[in-house]
Amino acid sequence: MLKYSLSILIPFFLVSVFSCQPPSPEAEVAEERVILGAEIFIERHLDELEGQRVGLVMNPTARIGRVHMLDRLLELNVNITALFAPEHGFRGEAGAGERIEDGIDRATRLPVFSLYGDTRQPTMEMLEHVDVLIFDMQDVGARFYTYIATLGLVIESADEAGIPVWVLDRPNPAGGNYVSGWIMQNEFKSFVGPYPIPIAHGLTMGEIARMMVGERWINFENEPDVRVVPMEGWSRDMKWPDTGLRWVAPSPNLPTFEHAYFYLGTVFYEGTSLSEGRGTIDPFLLLGDPSTSLSDADIERLQNISPSILVEPTQFTPMSIPGVAPSPKHEGVLCYGVFLSAVDYDFDPVRAGLEIFSVLMQATRNYELRNFRFLLAGTREIDRLIRGEIRTDDIDFGLENYLEQRKPYLLYE
């Protein structure tokens, strides 16, 4: 299979990925599915909002079926007074890293306060508009996904303001038993690495909220008023396809679960000059560079990583996609590399991704390394992999202590 620049498919991509419109009706939700924290909240806790001014920290993933939580709560006459926008925006109108501005939501005329602009934390002035905050966003289960950092900063500010935070829980798409990757070292603490957890942490948003408070990874004087509404029907061995839920892209470049699952291990190209596939319809599945030249031995090594992964040599040309990848690496330049696809999800995407990363880096003549790679990996060990000093199979991530540490905060079997 050979992939080229896919310009004729870009219009479809733009209207379908991370749109605030309802997901396409290609497949109905399964009869038996996970019951989301949002549904439990509406069914059992809505009366607790009576007389309260409510702020929503959400994005387009805050849905029950086809209906966004904002719309559902307004239908139920909840007094929504403010919206708070994380990375990508409340309506999902911004690409990765794009600055979000304060403004007015056009559909509802509600004020929108940016948590990805001049500040990434709600200010006391913002919180004057609300008596309670509701946090509902779909995570991907990665330490470097910024929604968990936003969650911690929201809880800090809410505690200072003396207001509660409701966290409406959703599945960890990669599963609650899947834990992999280096634990972040303190020197690399950042917005894409806020807590000392592995790359794939195996927690839901509700569980990580409990853990960041219990382990005091966030700053507070008194115990924050954090109220997690758990799901029903979710178990730790479930990956996304087991949940019976529709996929709604948690960011513009993760249009399907397959993209999100590989992303856990193919994100590291963002710390280099190699393309991670932004500017194509398959970000984090298309990987390469204009100077990558894979040998037959390289391809054989890649194809033997796992029977669950198909690795095909390919070429592609990144293109500008407004709101998704406005200025991708190597825009308009032919790149050589690989296309990844999953036969099934019975593999470790972090280890597989690191092995692919190692092979491609060594097969690329001209590349630049950026310090961002340390923030993603959480350690300098990734450079040993780039230099070929260690093989992925030989890495010990040292997860035993973390697995014990997280046990008191788990909500699901």
pLDDT tens track for 176-214: 999 999 999 999 999 999 999 999 999 999 999 999 999
> What are the tokens at 370?
């950026």
Q: Does the pLDDT value for residue 26 go beyond 90?
A: no
> Beta 80-85 vs 54-58: how paired, if at all?
parallel
pLDDT bucket at 17, cuts 50 / 70 / 90: very low
Q: Could you give the CA distance from residue 337 to residue 8 in angstroms, rounded to a whole number?
A: 21
Which SS3 state, helix, strand or coil, does residue 120 take? coil
What three-state secondary structure class fits 148?
A: helix
Is pLDDT above 50 for 29?
no
363, pLDDT greater than 80: yes
pLDDT score for 129? 92
**pLDDT computed for residue 31 by the predictor:** 63
Please state the domain extents for the chain.
33-249+405-409, 253-379
Q: Rounded to whole angstroms, how far apart are CA atoms 113 and 127?
A: 10
Predicted local distance difference test score (pLDDT) of residue 116: 84
Q: How far apart are the first and last CA of the chain?
A: 41
Residue with tokens 């990665």: 142
Alpha helices (H) along 23-146: 37-44, 69-75, 124-127
What are the structure tokens assigned to 20, written together? 């605030």
How far from the centroid of its chain's Cα atoms is residue 198's Cα? 14
CATH topology assigned to domain 33-249+405-409? Rossmann fold (3.40.50)
Q: Tokens 């809880």 sit at which residue?
A: 155
pLDDT of residue 93: 58
Return the pLDDT at 92. Answer: 56
Collect all residues with Cβ–Cβ distance below 8 Å to 173 and sequence separation of at least 6. Answer: 138, 139, 140, 141, 239, 240, 257, 260, 261
pLDDT, tens only, 225-246: 999 999 999 999 999 999 999 9
- Residue 207 DSSP one-character state: H
What is the topology classification, in CATH, of domain 253-379?
Aspartate Aminotransferase, domain 1 (3.90.1150)
Find, among 261, 241, 272, the residue nearest to 374 by Cα.
272
- Encoded tokens for 148: 């968990």
Q: Which two tokens stand for residue 147?
A: 């929604």
Share above pLDDT 90 across residues of the chain, in percent, rounded to a whole number: 83
Q: Where are the alpha helices (DSSP H) in 92-239?
A: 124-127, 147-161, 205-214
* Burial of 241 per CB tally in 10 Å (0-12, 13-18, 19+): middle
Query: Does the fold of domain 253-379 match that of domain 33-249+405-409?
Result: no
Q: Angle at the Cα of 215 (from 212 to 217), degrees rounded to 5?
A: 55
Answering whether pTM is above 0.75, one says yes
Residues in Cβ contact with 58 at an 8 Å cutoff, skipping those fewer than 6 apart: 68, 69, 70, 83, 84, 90, 134, 135, 136, 137
382-405 pLDDT, tens digit each: 999 999 999 999 999 999 999 999
